[in-house]
Structures are given as C-alpha cells and as structure tokens.
Amino acid sequence: MSDYLQLVQTYFPYVAKGASITIQLTIVALLGSVALGLLTTFAKLANLRLLRIVASIYIELIRATPALLQLFIIYFGLTSFGLRLDPFTAASITLSLVGGAYAAEIFRAGIEAVDTGQFEAARSLGMSTPLAMRRIILPQAAVIVLPPFTNFVISMIKDTSLALTISVPEIMYRSYDASSQSYRSMAIYSMAAVLYLAICLPLSGFAKALEKRRASR
C-alpha cells in the first residue's frame, strides 16, 4: 500500500499535467469543430448545388476513414509537401476536421428539427433568410442540439488521446511514458482513467440533466 502511495506521489503529478494539455487540445478542437461544423451545415442547406456537394464529400470522407489515419496524413503525410506542423497543431487541425464533420450532422439535424412553420412565419414577416436563421431558427436549434452536442464534447475529449501517437504530451502520452518507466501499467493507467473520469463525468451528468429537463417539458 505504501508502495502504491509512493507510486502515486512520483507519477501522478506528471500524468496529471497531461490533463491540462488534453483540455487545451479539446478546447481548440471544439472551437475549430463548431466553426467548421456551422460552415458545413450552411453549405449543406445552401441553394447552390456545388456547395452542397463539397459539404457532403467532406463529411463522407471524414466519416469513412479512421481519425488516426487522418492524423497521420496531416502530421506525417503533409511533410512531403514541405509542411512540417508541430504535434499540437497537427492534432488540433485533425480533431477540428473530424469534429467539424460530426458537428455538421448534429447541427443540421437540430435545424431541421425546428418546425418549418417557424421559418414561414419569420419569412412572412419580411425577414430575409439569414435574419430568420439568426433570430428565429438557430436559437431554437441550439436548445435541441445541446444534449447531443454535449455527448459530442465528451467523445472529443476522449479522441484527443489519439495525439499520443504523435507525441503530444497529453494524459495518454504521459501515462504510456510513465508506465514504460515504472513497469506498473495497472496503477499508472488507473490514474489516467481517474483523470478522464474527472473531466467527462460532470459533462455527461450535465447532458443527462438537460435531456431530463427537455423530456419533462
């Protein structure tokens, strides 16, 4: 037992430092995902066929290939075009691209779930399409989208662990490192699990509360 405490004392601060990287990466990737997701959603709902096609191709390409592969293409692959990204940047870009495709589908479902009568009412009062979107449709879609979006955030947090493979010093990278130094895999990875739980559980509780509130309305 004292041996275990010793281990925690030695390695937990090191692994826990990764949590801050994990959170930073999540935040950057989320901002990127939301921006890309919104752009893609509007492209998919646009009148212009070309925009819709480009958006669909993007979504399908991302969804039909593993995120790890995309990460390797961006980090290792792009070097053949002379583009050398630092690991954190490469991971941020990849996770934004992946997240953007999934977020776009969540946003689109949310917008389409708003009753068409809302859009008609807005337009029949003389609102332009962008104004009706901004004032009437998006505020309602945001409420609809919040629970699935919270789940999306949770999977984004876990997906940041992929960055281990390109040496971004986040939770997984540091626990892998610590475990290969100490040969105490079970203990070290348990610490990592505790860290992920500490980040994700409050969020998933939040998502559950939201869904409950919506169901009771």
Partner 1 sequence: MSKTILELQGLEMAFGQLSVLRGVDLKVEEGESIAIIGPSGSGKSTLLRCLNRLETPTGGNVLFEGTRIDARTDINQLRTRMGMVFQQFNLFPHMTALANVMEAPVHVRRIKRDQAEAEARRLLEKVGMLEKAGSFPKQLSGGQKQRVAIARCLAMQPRLLLLDEITSALDPELVGEVLDVVRDLARQGMTMLLVTHEMRFAREFADRVVFMDGGVVVEVGPPEEIFTRPKSERLRKFLTAVLEQTT
Q: Which residues bind partner 1 (CB under 8 A)?
A: 115, 117-118, 120-128, 131, 135-136, 139-140, 143, 217
Q: Which two tokens stand for residue 33?
A: 């995902």
Q: How far is the CB of 189 from partner 1 (least distance, A)?
A: 45
Comparing CB distances to partner 1, the nearer of 17 and 123 is: 123
- Euclidean distance between the first and final Cα of the chain, in Å? 50
| DSSP codes, 79-131 | GGGT----HHHHHHHHHHHHHHHHHHHHHHHHHHHS-HHHHHHHHHTT--HHH
Q: How far is the CB of 116 from partner 1 (least distance, A)?
A: 9
C-alpha triplet 132, 40, 88: angle, nearest 5°: 130
Comparing CB distances to partner 1, the nearer of 84 and 135 is: 135
Comparing CB distances to partner 1, the nearer of 46 and 131 is: 131
Q: How far is the CB of 159 from partner 1 (least distance, A)?
A: 32
Q: How far is the CB of 74 from partner 1 (least distance, A)?
A: 39
Residue 99 region, left (φ>0) first, then alpha (ψ -120 to 50), else beta? alpha
Cβ(145)–Cβ(211) under 8 Å?
A: no
Comparing CB distances to partner 1, the nearer of 57 and 142 is: 142
